[in-house]
Structure 1
Amino acid sequence: MDEQKLIKRLQKGYEEAYRFLFSEYYDWLCNYVYNLCENRSLAEDIVQDAMVNFWKKRKSIIITTSLKNYLFRTCHNQFLQHIRRQKIQFDSLDKIRWDVISEVTLEEDLYDFKMEKLNKLINQLPPRCKEIFVQNKLEKKKYREIAMDMGISVKTVENQMSKALHFLKTNATTFML
């Protein structure tokens, strides 16, 4: 079929002209797009989208080159649009990932800051009070164990823990957020 005649029939909406166009160019276009993306399914999707868009816009399409070149360029542009959409999706995912990582990093930094300040406060405790506090809170020893290890009464351990906790609670409000 003459190319100009085919274009006119397509513009007028003749379905047999569209079927002819599809049968003549579909495989060729799929192979072209496949060479771009190396994904047969994606290539077929892109060509089908291009062909459907061609049919929808058939009345307003102006072809200044050959029909084959026009379809080639249309499929190429359709592929580029697909790449752009994918890039935007990846960029959005990267932004989300970066936001999550940044948030976690900020929380870790805040935690590290608070722990540093807490350690400074613990170091300000009197030596015996500090030792009892560290054994109870960091080493997870019970009051009775601490008392036996240090050769003191459980009541003394309780009193020292009470002093340590009061000191930390009073001074910790100055830096805790």
Structure 2
Amino acid sequence: MITEDSRLLKGMKEEDNASFKAVYDKYAKALFFYAHNIIKDRAVCEDIIQEVFISLWSKRKSNTITSLKPYLFQAVKYQIFNHFRNNKFSKEDLTRLNIIDVSMNVSQKLEYSELDQIIRDYVAKLPKRCRHIFVLSRYQHKSNKEIAEELEISVQAVKNQISKALAFLRSNLQLEDAVFLCLVLLH
């Protein structure tokens, strides 16, 4: 089945500017809000989103993207890591993140991957409905409202299930608060 995103990616490979604009229009706002929830600086977030889309366009012919939305959110996440790695932290950043060095060298990428797999294993142990809602929220980057509409439940029910999932993960993973926060928020 050919999805709209697959069609747009194909159009970009064929140098169709309209396809690129459609991808931008579809995802830029959500990516900006995702970045802004972590970095409370509008200009920095705009630069991050611009970098992600510049990279997407410049690599359009060689990309092997199979799922556009997760790819874009992952790209923003790495741009955020790079921002924190390359810039001095503001006092507000230090308070929010409790300073985490995410330099992402090969060893750290491996550690991150291992920790990510551990988290995914625990997510798999959540009750079915709770797991489904958590995955929609953290891995598919859907808003509480979108999840509520999709599952035909209240936004409060979504919030309750996400809180339940986070409490389960926190109690089982026993990670420092800052590390846990980054892993859960940046997914």
For the pair shown, the structure with the greater C-alpha radius of gyration is 1
Greater RCO structure (CA 8 Å; 6+ sep): 2
Larger helix fraction of residues: 1
TM-score range, shorter chain: 0.3 to 0.5
When normalised by structure 1's length, the TM-score is 0.46
